[in-house]
Each structure stands twice: as structure tokens, then as C-alpha cells.
Structure 1
Amino acid sequence: MEAELKAMLSDLETLKRSLPDPSHHASIDKMQLRVEHLTNLAKSAPVQRSKVKDMSAEVVDSNPYSRLMALQRMGIVQNYERIREFSVAIVGIGGVGSVAAEMLTRCGIGRLLLYDYDKVELANMNRLFFRPEQVGMTKTDAAVQTLSDINPDVVLESYTLNITTVQGFETFVSSLKNKTFRPSKEGSGVDLVLSCVDNYEARMVVNQACNELNQTWMESGVSEDAVSGHIQLLIPGETACFACAPPLVVASGIDERTLKREGVCAASLPTTMGVVAGLLVQNTLKYLLKFGHVSPYLGYNALKDYFPTMEMKPNPQCSNVACVDRQREYLLVKPARDAAAKAKIEAEALSATEFPLHDDNEWNISVVDDSELDKTDVRSLDALPDGLVRELPNADEFQKLPVPLETANSIDDLDDLRRQLEALSAG
């Protein structure tokens, strides 16, 4: 666009010179001013990047994936480009969900499904992601607008609905089962569901849908005082579902809706929400790309920088019927899964002994056995090239220095003095 406008300016200047009648120059000057104005507008317009067909590890400024693909070169991830095959659903595009969506978009996730019913308000500006000019837009539309500009390679699906309603729940479950992105995928159409909602009722709806679909999901939350949060991995049948161990306020029979007071809102820190969103997406990447350890539960206390972890087993007497069904199914397949996992570990251990570690390293780094060091003459390692001498004495020679003569004489003098004292006492 900018190049075309510059060419038009050049054409107008040529036309101006070719006209013999100066009376036409004023009109051309006016046209040139308008083209210059459009050129300035084009320069200030946001730059939109084009789609990238294949992820490349080429280290050039124009490659948006070079730093991500470096994870593969460094051995952290086996095949980073697989991230384009995955679909992730994010329920709740608020302080945590919006930042999680942006992080996954920048990481090059294949497809994002976004769910929220709320609109952007100026009160949301204390958080990350949303901008003042988006006030009044639905959070899902605002998210699609921003995320599509960041990475046009990501397939974005937005659902402006309340999943706690009957119709909203049906649409939610139906969208999770949709396999148009990957027709050959087993199970539901998404690989992971991220719950970033701020109330118990919505969490229970996500819990119900994932239990029915046997869908793995991750739950997240930030406390009302904004100084603590958590993330949790929930695998139907294998780990506790959200109904297996309800929060204390719910277990006590208190309706959470009665806790909200008019004119009083919960605190919100973009730092705490950013930390929780980062932990959530980090766990998501580890789960999808299979590297590192996926935390079953990770808490965060901002006041003490404390990160507690724990595991929660499913409750056999859970009130959620679908959860109990998934537990029975898991117990049936558990022996075969354990045997397969054991065989895999043994195979990896065998292959590790058969092939030397880092056999093809480009820096020619070698590892020496400690037992071999014991057999080596350490003094030979201290040898200097011909013509060089040490300013300080060698440590081995220093340890072998003879006992000074003065020390020996002092010992003889003491013996002589002792004999004289014994003679005096005898007299």
C-alpha cells in the first residue's frame, strides 16, 4: 500500500512537469497533498503479518517461530510443530483466560475455542490484554480481534454464551465434540479444556461436561484478595473431579451468590492473574507436547512466594454420576496401562545403555569416569610447557618440604632443659 502511494506521487510529479499550462499545477498539487496524507496514514496503520504455512527453525528476523522451534533444537521438545495439531477450549475470557489465550496464540496453537458471555468494561483495564477502545465489545469478539492480529495462523472460534444455562450447556458440549479441525481425532474434538471462570457454578458445569465426554481439563482460579491462586489438572476417573472435593463454603451448604454484596467487588491484580495464567499455559504445553512434569495441583501464594503442590485421588462416593462411571472405566484399564508404562521405562533404560549419551555432540565434549581419574597421575596434569616456570611453588613439592633444622634443635633444647630440672629436683 505504501509503495503504491509513493509510485502515485512520482507519477503526479511527472505529470506536473509534462503539462505546459501552469494553471493545471494547482490541481495536481492538491492531489499530491492528499496522496501524502494517505501515505502517512498507511505508515501509522498496524502491520499485519501474513500466514505461515510451515513452522521453520530458520533464525531470521522475519520468522515468528524461530525462538519456539529452538526448543526442539535444544532437546526440550521432540517435535514443536505438533502444536498446530492441537485444539484448546478456554472457558472464561477474563483476567486469567484472556492472558492464557494470548500466550497460546503466540505459541502457535492450532485452534482456540473461546467462551464468555460478558462485555469489556473500563473496570477491566486493570488487567492485561483488553484495551480501552474495546469497551462495549463482547469479550469473545475483542479477543478474536486481538488474537487474529497477533497470529493469523491460529483457528479461532468464539462462543458468546452462558454455559450455565440449558441451551448454553448444550452448545458448549456440542462444540467440544466437533471434530472438523481434526476429523481423525479420537474422543472429543478438543485436546484440552481450560477453565478460567470465577464462580463455583460455572466450574461445576465444565466439570459435568468433561466427565460426560471423558475429557481432560485444567481448572484455575485467583482468590478474592488477589494474592493467591492455583491450577489443577483433572483427568476423569484418574484424578479427583471438581465435585469429589468441593470447596469448604459449598460443602457447608452456603450459596456463593449470597456472599456478594452491592457495591463491593473482589480485588484484582494483573500480576497475580498473569502468574496463574503463565503456570496454566506452561502446564498446558507440557501436557500437549509431552515434556517435563505436569503438575496435578499447583498453588501460588504471592505474599510468601510459596508454591504448594499435591495430588487428589477421586472419591469413590462422588456425587457426580459421570465421575463414578469414569472411575470404574479407569480401574478396568489401569493394569494394562501400568504394564505398558513399565515396559516403556525398561525399553528407555535399555536403549540408554546401548547408545552413548551425546555421541554426536558438535562441541566434542567427553565425559570421564571418576574411577579413571583416580588412576591418573594428577601431577602430570600440572605440567607446564617448556620455557615456563611457576611463580609460586608447586603444591606437591610444598607438601614434601623437609622439616626445618631450627625445629629439630628446639626439640633437643627442650630435652636438655628437662634433664636439668630433674637433676635440681633430685638434689
Structure 2
Amino acid sequence: MALKRMGIVEDYEKIRTLTVAVVGVGGVGSVTAEMLTRCGIGKLLLFDYDKVELANMNRLFFQPHQAGLSKVEAAANTLQFINPDVTFESHNYNITTVENFGHFMERIKSGSLTGGPVDLVLSCVDNYEARMAINRACNELGQKWFESGVSENAVSGHIQFLIPGETACFDCAPPLVVASNINESTLKRDGVCAASLPTTMGVVAGLLVQNTLKFLLKFGEVANYLGYNAMVDFFPTMTVRPNPQCEDIWCQKQQREYRAKKAAEPEPEKEEVKEEGVVHEDNEWDICLVAETTPEEAAGSVSAPMTNLAKGITVAYERLAPVAEEAGSNTVDTEGISLDDLMAQMKAL
């Protein structure tokens, strides 16, 4: 509510009427669901088919006594205790199977508090097959969604906002390993499992929820693609446009509809800016204004500790360097000389 009092959000209470689907309640998904619960979201739909294991105790969310429970059941129990005002709907199945995909689409289409489509889908899965299933469902339904992920070495991650027809879908620019027809299972080395850090997963989940709130409550600017490299604390951003030759027919259909919608919009009226000539008043005495410091002086006016600023950082004001007195300057000591003597010296020049 402080966001509303400070003028950041116009109507924060609106969040109680909104529904978000979280697919994958693992490292990123569990933290995402908890953050949304604490923010007061109206309803959460949770999808996953894994069980809680002791190896999941670095996930910031699960507890040892929950080992053996399905992740969605454990999540719903914990989250209900945190905020009983939130409505939870959990589904313990694999969304990529034929028998479950139809039900998954139906819940996205009519699983909100009002019986209509959910307001947003958040993908927090860790495999390509599940991402493609979410992509297919959202393209067919015209559903906006966020894709997120953390690398296998646990030191980088990303989030991506996908708007069917307007931005690239997940199939428009597939990952290299998939484009090269390499089986995803071959990427796993024998005896080596993917690394995980609760810090990296927490950072990615925070970026995901922050942009979710910005989209749902309409404040700030929603990131189209935001990466995170923990090794150098680098956050690259970019905009990914749709591929006209995308293999997903529903993506192509959404692209055609988006182009038709943009073509039907009236062009914004351009305001004519009249250039008014500068009016100069009479300057009988040829008075002109000059700067007190030259550009060279101003360029070297910042104190030494502030000269190596990082990109995007600037000083609030410039501090002029102290002017040292030059030795042997041509000054005249007038102390003790009368005005008449000074006038006589001037006439003698």
C-alpha cells in the first residue's frame, strides 16, 4: 500500500482481483509464488509434477518435513499459512502430455477468480519441452506470459516477456542446442547434476515478480528481455521481435492479427510547431554575456576522486578546482598611496 500512498501505483487493491498461473514450483517458481502471495495476489494456479526431495532444501521455500509431498501440495500448504486471503489451485501433473495439455489450456482460459482467462502466466520450468508446451498454449490463446530460467552452472539467468504476435515467441528463435537437433538429454554429463544457488534463483525470481507487478499494476516499464550474469553483475536487456517464418502456426496467426490491428489504428496527429524568431532588443552599449569559466576549465573542475565514474552515473553539481596564486604576478601594492599620487602616475603613462 505504500506504493499507492507514494504515487507509484494508482490502485494497489486491484491485485486482490488478479490471477497468475505459475508453471514449475522449483527454485525460481517457489520463490515467485511466495513473493506474489506476500504481495496479496488474488489467486495462484500452481502446476508441477515433481515431489519434494531433501536436495530441494536450498530452494528457500521447502522444508525437510515436506519431503515426499508433491511440490504443488507443499507449496499450497505453506503459502496458505502465509496469506490465507489468497486462493490457491494446484495441479500435480505433467503439462506436456496429451492427456494433460488440454486441461492445462482450459485452466489458463478459465481459471481466474471471475471464470475468465488468467491475467498472466509465469514459466518457471527447467526444460525445453515444458517451455514449448507453455508457448504453444499461450500462442493459441493469445495469452501474455513470462519465461524465466537459470543456467546449469547457477551463475546466470534471465526473464523474457512474450506477447503473442507482438514479440518473439519461444519458438521464433529457439536455443542453439534445439536448432541443431541435439537431444536435450545429451547435454547432461553422467554423474553431474545441474548446480543451483538460492541466491541466483532468488535474484531471477525477484526480477520476474517485479516485472509481473509492473505489468499487472501498470507502473514503470516492463522489461522485454532482462538477463543476469552473476560473475560480473551484468544485466543485459534487449527486445526480441517475432520471426515471420516461425514454425508455430499459432504464432504466425497472432502476428497477422497484430499487424492488422496496428494497420487499423489511426495515425497520431502531428502537431505543427511554429518556429518563432528570436526577438532582440536594442543593445545600445554592445553588452554581451560571457561564461565565468572556459569549457577547458569546466572540464577539469571535478575533484580527482570523481573522475572515474561508471557509465550512467553523474555528479549532482560540478565543484570548481581551487585557483592557486601565481608567483611573480604583476600586481601593484597600492597600500599607503594617496589618490592624487595615483592620478599623477596614470597621467605619466
TM-score, normalised with respect to structure 1: 0.63
Partner of 1:139: 71
Cα pair distance change 1:253/1:72, threshold 3 Å: same
Partner of 1:173: 105
Q: Which AA in structure 2 matches 1:243?
A: D
8 Å contact from structure 2 (residues 164, 254) kept in 1: yes
Q: In the alignment, does 2:244 pair up with 1:316?
A: yes
**Partner secondary structure for residue 236 of structure 1:** coil
The CA deviation at 1:406 is: 5.0
The whole-number CA distance in structure 1 between the counterparts of 2:266 and 2:37 is 35
Q: Which AA in structure 1 matches 2:26?
A: G
Q: Which AA in structure 1 matches 2:242?
A: P
Q: In the alignment, does 2:47 pair up with 1:118?
A: no
The whole-number CA distance in structure 1 between the counterparts of 2:336 and 2:121 is 82
The whole-number CA distance in structure 2 between the counterparts of 1:295 and 1:162 is 29
The CA deviation at 1:179 is: 4.8
Q: Which AA in structure 2 matches 1:176?
A: I
Alignment equivalent of 1:237, drawn from 145, 165, 174: 165
Partner of 1:303: 231
Q: In the alignment, does 2:197 pair up with 1:197?
A: no
8 Å contact from structure 2 (residues 43, 112) kept in 1: no
Q: Which AA in structure 1 matches 2:50?
A: D
The whole-number CA distance in structure 1 between the counterparts of 2:89 and 2:21 is 9
The whole-number CA distance in structure 1 between the counterparts of 2:180 and 2:153 is 21
Alignment equivalent of 1:182, drawn from 101, 111, 114: 114
The CA deviation at 1:82 is: 0.3
Alignment equivalent of 2:220, drawn from 289, 292, 304: 292
**Partner secondary structure for residue 96 of structure 1:** helix
Q: Provide the aligned length of Structure 1 versus Structure 2.
A: 281
Q: Which AA in structure 1 matches 2:172?
A: C
The CA deviation at 1:335 is: 3.5
8 Å contact from structure 2 (residues 18, 43) kept in 1: yes
8 Å contact from structure 2 (residues 37, 79) kept in 1: yes
Cα pair distance change 1:408/1:257, threshold 3 Å: farther
8 Å contact from structure 2 (residues 43, 88) kept in 1: yes
Q: Which AA in structure 2 matches 1:156?
A: F
The whole-number CA distance in structure 2 between the counterparts of 1:407 and 1:263 is 96
Partner of 1:163: 95
Larger Rg: 1
The CA deviation at 1:262 is: 3.5
The CA deviation at 1:259 is: 1.9
The whole-number CA distance in structure 1 between the counterparts of 2:91 and 2:145 is 18
Partner of 1:280: 208
Matches within 5 A, 1:245-264: 245-264=173-192
The CA deviation at 1:178 is: 1.6
| Structure 2, unpaired ranges of 5+ | 272-330
Matches within 5 A, 1:268-417: 268-336=196-264, 339=267, 404-406=333-335
RMSD across aligned C-alpha pairs, in angstroms?
2.2
Q: Which AA in structure 1 matches 2:173?
A: A
Q: Cα deviations across residues 56-114 of structure 1 (Å, max 9, x unaligned)?
A: xxxxxxxxxxxxx1110100000000001111000000000000000000000011000
The whole-number CA distance in structure 2 between the counterparts of 1:178 and 1:269 is 35
**Partner secondary structure for residue 212 of structure 1:** helix
| Structure 1, unpaired ranges of 5+ | 1-68, 347-401, 417-427
Partner of 2:287: none
Matches within 5 A, 1:49-60: none
The whole-number CA distance in structure 2 between the counterparts of 1:179 and 1:99 is 22
The whole-number CA distance in structure 1 between the counterparts of 2:335 and 2:129 is 90
Q: Cα deviations across residues 275-294 of structure 1 (Å, max 9, x unaligned)?
A: 00000000000000000000
The CA deviation at 1:162 is: 0.2
Alignment equivalent of 1:103, drawn from 35, 42, 47: 35
Q: Cα deviations across residues 152-174 of structure 1 (Å, max 9, x unaligned)?
A: 11110000000111112111111
Q: Cα deviations across residues 386-417 of structure 1 (Å, max 9, x unaligned)?
A: xxxxxxxxxxxxxxxx97415989xx9xxx9x
Which fold has the larger relative contact order, with Cα–Cα distance below 8 Å and residues 6 or more apart in sequence? 2
The whole-number CA distance in structure 2 between the counterparts of 1:266 and 1:332 is 44
TM-score, normalised with respect to structure 2: 0.77
The CA deviation at 1:261 is: 3.3
Alignment equivalent of 1:88, drawn from 4, 8, 20: 20
Partner of 1:218: 146
The whole-number CA distance in structure 2 between the counterparts of 1:235 and 1:109 is 22
The whole-number CA distance in structure 2 between the counterparts of 1:180 and 1:325 is 25
Q: Which AA in structure 2 matches 1:301?
A: N
The CA deviation at 1:190 is: 0.3
